[in-house]
Amino acid sequence: MRDELRTRGREVYRLSITDIEYSMALADRLTESHAFKMNHSLSGLRDDAEASEIVDDVAYYANLDITYIWTFTLWRIQAVFEGIISQSLLPLSSHRPLGLKRKLKALKAAGYAIAHDDEEQLLEWAKLRNRFSHRPEWYYHATRIWREDVAEYASLVTRL
């Protein structure tokens, strides 16, 4: 690993809500760009009846790509949220809690209040993020994550 990457963690930069907003905006741009590219590449085939299966397949895989973008965005937003807790809300110490559940416990111990329902929602989102980590989107999953889902999570963490 390059030395610059190894020492990157020592740079001073605090995460903020702006990073959540930027993550959503970046994902929006990526999905729009990908959809535009797919629509443009398929434009000549859409009116060809013999190519309908090709169009369907390409569109299907393009949508799978887009769900990956939203999965990555969910991961990023949770990482930003956990970083905000660690960097800005918890007392500085040599031992930083690992995992969202421990960070929320430390946050409450530091005197911050968090509603039980909000905490439960955060933990449910964390479980979903972990499921995506270990069982990512795949060709045959019937239930996909979309922009609206990630926007709901972003709204929750921004409010908190």
Task: Say which residue the tokens 């993550």 belong to.
Answer: 23
DSSP-assigned letters across all residues of 96-117: PPPSHHHHHHHHHHTT----HH
Q: Is the pLDDT of residue 60 over 70?
A: yes
Q: Is the pLDDT of residue 123 over 80?
A: yes
Tell me the percentage of the chain whose pLDDT exceeds 90: 59
List the domain boundaries for the chain. Answer: 16-159
Other Cβ atoms less than 10 A from the Cβ of 35: the count is 15
**Buried b or exposed e, range 127-137, using 16+ CB within 10 angstroms:** ebbeebeeeeb
- Which pLDDT does position 140 carry in this prediction? 67
Interval 79-92: pLDDT, tens: 999 999 998 999 88
For residue 78, what pLDDT band results from cuts at 50, 70 and 90?
Answer: very high
Give the tokens for residue 17: 């809500």
- Which pLDDT does position 27 carry in this prediction? 98
Give the tokens for residue 15: 């995460």
| pTM value surpassing 0.85 | yes
Q: Is the pLDDT of residue 45 over 90?
A: no
